[in-house]
Amino acid sequence: MASAFSAPAPAAAAAISTPFLPKPTGPHQVGTTSLHLTDTSRPDPWIPTAKTRELMISLWYPTAARDGQRAPYVTPKESALLLKGSGIKELENIPPDGLSRTRTNAFVDAEPAGRRHSLPLVVMSPGFTWPRSSLTGLGEDLASRGYVVASIDHTYENFATTFPDGRVTTCAACENVNADDFGQKVIRNRAVDISFVLDQLIGSHPKWKGASLINPARVAMAGQSIGGAAAPETMLKDSRVRAGINMDGSMFLPIPKSGLARPFMLMGAPAGDSTWKRDWEHLTGWKRWLVVKGAVHPSFTDYDMLLRQLGVDLGGDLKGTRSLDITRKFVRAFLDLHLRGRPQPVLDKPSPRYPEVQFCSPPAKSCQ
């Protein structure tokens, strides 16, 4: 539950002044916007004096726009709070605004493009202490392939969330990490957050101007770390979510013996997780367990790649943009298969193009 940055390797990579996200691989240009959503039906779980639950989300989506203002990755203050909050000494060598310099690919508030009810929706939940922007590289790529993607800041569960009025909330939940049921509380809270966001995007009174483009029958969830561990709980509580992906997240809340019958994919680093073995048999639908050799915990976000560009090696063996390339490829394949019905041979067996990706099927003791 700690910050989830891995310990850096002794040798630092060569730093660049302007980190970047690689260009999306799909045929569409990408637009992005942020929404401020308020759930008046419940108090905030971390600040009981807050009578409503406020969330910020980022949307990425296809657009016909060819140019425009590129979206900021994070604000300078968010960058400083994130780097300081990690507690890793080597990150002190990065300028406090280092992550805010990241070059993104999506155009701010560009007009959404697509036919009515034609675009699948993917909701994304980041790791504990990490902001919604940590999954930008994946979100942009999926949007370029014709998805609407909504990444959620779970307020008070990360180092910095900025609201439209200038307020910046920090990690109030971090004060509770030693509680016995903390991980379970986070997961249950995120499931409620995600269902609320779905209400705001595909409910009877959607809050986004492009909401009519979304196909409400084609919804999936992907998350990293505890955001991925929240996917089964979300699916069990909300039948609108047809498929789910857990990227390197411990299952603090076990899948019940009654099982989860909808498609699910586990994708993680070689270190492994005993909770995955425990819950594997309770995934009773289509399922895959992929292990990425050379990956570390942040490899399933932008951070392994971006921090390497900024001169800090987190200890993984995936050089350049390879960590994001692999994440994009396999997440997209899973979603194309289960939301669009398009066969994906890369999910059937090991691929020579992706030798880092091993297929595991417990109770086997090794990966294929």
Confidence of residue 8 (pLDDT cuts 50, 70, 90): low
% of the chain with per-residue pLDDT over 90:
90
- Residue 22 belongs to some domain of the structure: no
Mean pLDDT calculated for residue range 358-363: 84
User: What is the number of domains present in the chain?
Assistant: 1
Residue 34 has pLDDT above 90, yes or no: yes
Residue 4 has pLDDT above 70, yes or no: no
- Residue 305 belongs to some domain of the structure: yes
Confidence of residue 13 (pLDDT cuts 50, 70, 90): low
Residue 10 has pLDDT above 80, yes or no: no
Residue 365 has pLDDT above 80, yes or no: no
Helical pair 322-340 and 136-144, crossing angle rounded to 10 deg: 50
Q: Indicate the SS3 state at residue 314.
A: coil
- Residue 144 belongs to some domain of the structure: yes
CATH code where residue 62 lies: 3.40.50.1820
- Residue 180 belongs to some domain of the structure: yes
pLDDT at 247: 98
Residue 114 has pLDDT above 90, yes or no: yes
- Residue 213 belongs to some domain of the structure: yes
Residue 15 has pLDDT above 80, yes or no: no
Mean pLDDT calculated for residue range 47-73: 97
Confidence of residue 5 (pLDDT cuts 50, 70, 90): low
- Residue 23 belongs to some domain of the structure: no
Encode pLDDT of 257-301 as tens digits: 999 999 999 999 998 789 999 999 999 999 999 999 999 999 999
Asked whether 158 and 130 are in contact (CB, 8 A), the reply is: yes
Show the domain range for 340: 29-360
Residue 12 has pLDDT above 70, yes or no: no
- Residue 6 belongs to some domain of the structure: no
pLDDT at 87: 84
The structure's pTM equals 0.95
Confidence of residue 32 (pLDDT cuts 50, 70, 90): very high
Q: In the predicted model, what is the mean pLDDT of the chain?
A: 94
Asked whether 56 and 162 are in contact (CB, 8 A), the reply is: yes
Q: Are strands 214-224 and 243-247 parallel, antiparallel or unpaired?
A: parallel
pLDDT at 130: 96
List all residues 6 or more positions away from 359 whose beta carbon is below 8 Å from its beta carbon.
Answer: 288, 289, 290, 349, 350, 367, 368
Read out DSSP for 151-184? EEE-TTSBS-EE-TTS-EE--GGGGGTTSTTHHH
Output the six-digit token pair for 267. 């994708």
Encode pLDDT of 309-334 as tens digits: 999 999 999 999 999 999 999 999 99
- Residue 13 belongs to some domain of the structure: no
Nearest-10 Cα torsion for 100, 105, 109, 114? -150
